[in-house]
Amino acid sequence: MDGPVTSDQAARRQTKYIFFTGGVSSSLGKGLTASSLGRLLKCRGLRVTMCKLDPYINVDPGTMNPFEHGEVFVTEDGGETDLDLGHYERFIDENLHKGSNATTGRIYSSVIAKERRGDYLGKTVQVIPHVTDEIKHHIRKLGETGVDVVIVEIGGTVGDIEIVPFIEAIRQFRRDVGRENVCYVHLTLVPYLGPSGEQKTKPTQHSVTELRSRGIQPNVIVCRSDRMISDDLKRKISLLCDVPIEAVVSAVDAANIYQIPLVLHEEGLDAYIMDALEVDPSAHPIDLGPWEHLVEQVEAAVRPVRIGIIGKYVDLPDAYLSVVEALRHAGFHHGARVEIEWVQAATVPDLLDRDGLKVFDGLVIPGGFGERGIEGKIAAARYAREHELPLLGLCLGLQVMIIEVSRSLAGLQGANSREFEATTRHPVIDLMDEQVDVADKGGTMRLGSYSARLAPGSQVARAYGVEVVSERHRHRYEVNPRYRDQLEATGLVCSGVSPDGRLVEFIELPGHPFWVGTQAHPEFKSRPDQPHPLFRELVGAALVRAEGRDPRLLDLGAVG
């Protein structure tokens, strides 16, 4: 996106706002539908940004259990946000920011802070107008960043009590900026009942009635179903919900999520919304060529490769959503079908007794917090090192790789992280409080984008193709610099460090097909048509192994 615009520039154009609400049931795919619309509008040359408004009272998902909320997505500026922002970034290929996600907790925190400062001049602080004004202010700021369109997804389901202030705010917003500048899109479920052999529109009717009772008449109704909505059903929904028939969009289950923009375009969603916003579609012809090429790549990815994810939260795959997507992006690049298998970290020692990791072509040890399953992750890192099994360690993954080398190769018996053993004799992973600005970085946590210098000629430097990179972080503990010489004496290479040379950002083992760790979370920057270099090379090395070639002959950057 472009930078902030001047007041004169803002006066010459009017940002358009599209609000997505959901009804009937959660998990229908509002985020993916909104992201797909964003991609279609970008394909028309429009400047797009996106936002998620979540009704839960937590200030952000950063302190929430992954089993409660799934992955915490991290933005460039250190925002801990909803996982839907990952979909937004992957589809519209724009870096979002802290302001791209707001919760009830954050909104109320801001209102209470203003009340304490006296900003309301002693008035009684109420949901209307103070809370709704704060929500509108948050939305309006997004439109001041040089974009043409702001797409806002309202979390939860219409009818939930906690969603009411957000619905009221977006109702008022249309009056504030003009009807021609706001479009409401409502996503509902049209279930198929097997016994009767019918698709039922009643849930959609009730959902729209609930939304209208809050003062919002949707411009578009997107109907989620496992099969196409017939023209007769569209006419019925059109009549009963008071929208034009061309504004009833059938969104069937797609073979892969990257087909969704093409499905919605065939239904005419983007053109209809542009008309509703008084933007001439003919003045913004669409170029779907690059996205169609991506979908062709996805469909052509058939070479099987098995990747095991050694995690703590494998019972909820959404806890590692960006890791999964980054692996799939790498597979698209190589024409490979990445078959992901979940391995509970605590079970790894038992698997090793049965040589159970032998079935994999590559491993990923993702990030996480807490002691549970750590010994299993360390054992997996050792197995991958000893058996030339490609491994990528992410954040905590790098830390367990350091612990493994310390114990197995450096002779540091009992080496551990202070996170897991406060009294360890060899704290090879430790807190580095002096490295962190406590006021801005969440206490002792490094959050957001940090730069690193890569060692010339290293695996990671060859993978990236440059020697200075920037990656997103979310962690408290660092490699203890007091042990760096002992670690490097084993042959381990600290192949990427912070600009001041103090913090280890990347490690690798020369001679190994791919045994690489990073303190960062590179999965957050992967795109379907631009796979992240580290995931690309991991899958490339795993593919070499899967096809029986000598992995030591791998030429980084050229596999596939």
**Residue 356 phi, psi dihedral angles, 5° rounding:** -75, -15
Catalytic residue among 71, 388, 508, 523: 523
68 is catalytic: no
Distance of CA 190 to the CA centre of its chain: 27
**Residue 30 phi, psi dihedral angles, 5° rounding:** -60, -45
Catalytic residue among 43, 51, 395, 494: 395
**Which runs of consecutive H residues, i.e. helices, occur in 387-431?**
396-408
Tell me the CA end-to-end span of the chain in Å, nearest whole number.
32
Beta-bridge mates of residue 188: 223
Gap between the Cα atoms of 518 and 391, Å rounded: 11
Gap between the Cα atoms of 425 and 393, Å rounded: 24
Kindly state the DSSP code that residue 128 receives in the 8-state scheme: I
Comparing CA positions, the residue from 454, 457, 425, 440 lying closest to residue 519 is 454
Kindly state the DSSP code that residue 41 receives in the 8-state scheme: H
Gap between the Cα atoms of 189 and 381, Å rounded: 44
183 is catalytic: no
Contact 264, 243 (CB under 8 A): no
**Which runs of consecutive H residues, i.e. helices, occur in 267-355?**
269-276, 289-300, 321-334, 348-353
Helices 202-213 & 231-241, crossing angle to 10 degrees? 30
Gap between the Cα atoms of 486 and 491, Å rounded: 9
Contact 471, 522 (CB under 8 A): yes
Contact 31, 51 (CB under 8 A): no
Beta-bridge mates of residue 101: 52
293 is catalytic: no
Compute the residue count for the chain: 560
User: Judging by beta carbons within 10 Å of its beta carbon (0-12, 13-18, 19+), is residue 304 exposed, middle or buried?
Assistant: middle
Planar angle of CA 102, 3, 439, nearest 5 degrees:
50
Q: What secondary structure does DSSP assign to 165-200, as a single string?
A: HHHHHHHHHHHHH-GGGEEEEEEEE--EETTTTEE-
Planar angle of CA 73, 75, 81, nearest 5 degrees:
40
Contact 130, 4 (CB under 8 A): no
Residue 67 in tokens? 């089993």
Gap between the Cα atoms of 416 and 411, Å rounded: 12
How big is the chain by its Cα radius of gyration, in Å? 25
Contact 470, 538 (CB under 8 A): no
Catalytic residue among 130, 333, 426, 521: 521
Residue type, 61: P
Catalytic machinery residues: 395, 521, 523
